Amino acid sequence: MKTITIILALFLVSNLNFGCGKVVQMTYLAPEKVNDGIDVGTLQQVSMDTTLIMNAVNRINHGKYNEVHSMLIYRNDKLVMEKYFKGYKYQWDARKYRGEFVDWNRNMPHSIMSCTKSYTSACIGIAIANGSIDNVHQSIFDYLPDHQHMKTGNRQYITIEHLLTMTSGLAWNEWGASHGTSANDVDMLYFNCDDPVACVLDRSWWAVPGEYFTYNGGGTVILAEILRNATNMNIEEFSMKYLFAPMSIDSPGWTQYKNGMYDSAGSLKLTPREMLKFGITYLDGGIWNDSIIIAPDWIVKSSNSYNDNQEINIPIEDSGLCGYAYSWWTSELDYNGEIIYMYRAGGWGGQSIMVFPQLDMVIVFTGGNYSSNSSLFQIVEGFILPSIL
């Protein structure tokens, strides 16, 4: 019996990494330079402790933080850390949302979930900068000609800014029900809705627009319709022309509803390096490859919490109390005894584009923690920030 117990223990230890093979201790390798416009370097070149970073990498590899699929660190104009791990692709109708088990790599697009909202926000900012939309304080009904009949009650006071900041005052339940079912309000737009705009606007009004935060991806979907009516381009066409093509990104994969509208709240699929380009553009004040992609004032609006959008507790992640800006989350973190701020595009399952202006740094994560807690802040605060020498 003792022999059997020892054999079983050895088997379990050798299959820690999601039950698929022996866990190997990873060693540091500088990211590979490829023709994507991102410069690379080493951790040593940007004064970061390699041992601490590799401790984090190996803890991820051993499943310490459930399922992290990638971790990229960009600092002082260089990509200095790029690691990929094993894990499951997202599948909405599978148990625990687990689809195919894969070895993630640099060339594989990943579902970025609600990080999509930050890209939609960028498109609205670009449309304002080029004059297609006047300003964020306009009523949403200025750009919804097919829904004028819903301009009743306080809905007429909902502005574009209210949708960007999730303060529309419309009732919405996205955090209190499982994804992949019609019980979740944002997924209901796929299951039981012929007109997503009408389905969102038909929700009951519970607060004066602009006063209270309620997480509402339906409002982000309306932003795509506003963009279409303002520019005569759907969000797929507009984003490709003004956002993705300038960054040399192909086919980010917007998903459509039954009526042809685009899911601008959570449907994009991008590689982690493509996500990084977006973060770098925000870090550099809206500039990519010496061209202004996003207006600097839009970066400011995206990186500073809107009014009373403070102390928001996001379910199943360890981010603590957050703020919310123009479809970007904001956080305050401890760095060597001082408070620094960070803003991020965040998505269900552990998708994140974290921008640290004070440290000239962007961190990208992808993950598969759809039914378990995401612990990205443990990695950032426990290893990445302390590694900066």
Write out pLDDT tens, residues 93-140: 899 999 999 999 999 999 999 999 999 999 999 999 999 999 999 999
CB neighbour list of residue 189: distance below 8 Å, 6 or more residues apart? 196, 199, 200, 218, 221, 257, 263
Q: Is residue 368 a contact partner of residue 88, using CB atoms and an 8 Å limit?
A: yes
CA dist 364 → 64, 191, 233, 272, 355 (Å): 18, 31, 30, 7, 9
Question: Would you say residue 204 lies in a domain?
Answer: yes
For residues 284-294, give the mean pLDDT: 97
The tally of domains found in the chain comes to 2
Reading the block at residue 329, the tokens are: 């989350």
CA dist 12 → 5, 7, 20 (Å): 11, 9, 11
Same domain flag for 47 and 154? no
Q: Which CATH number fits the domain that encloses residue 176?
A: 3.40.710.10
Same domain flag for 208 and 242? yes
Summarize pLDDT for 233-271 with one digit per residue, the tens: 999 999 999 999 999 999 888 999 999 999 999 999 999
Same domain flag for 296 and 324? yes
Same domain flag for 277 and 369? yes
Q: Which domain holds residue 68?
A: 2-76+98-112+268-387
Reading the block at residue 155, the tokens are: 């809905």
Same domain flag for 130 and 236? yes
Same domain flag for 137 and 207? yes
**pLDDT category of residue 22 using cuts at 50, 70 and 90:** low
Q: Is residue 385 a contact partner of residue 375, using CB atoms and an 8 Å limit?
A: no
Same domain flag for 26 and 106? yes
Same domain flag for 120 and 242? yes
Question: Would you say residue 169 lies in a domain?
Answer: yes
Same domain flag for 69 and 186? no
Same domain flag for 6 and 27? yes
Question: Would you say residue 89 lies in a domain?
Answer: no
Q: Is the pLDDT of residue 83 over 80?
A: yes
Q: Is the pLDDT of residue 192 over 90?
A: no
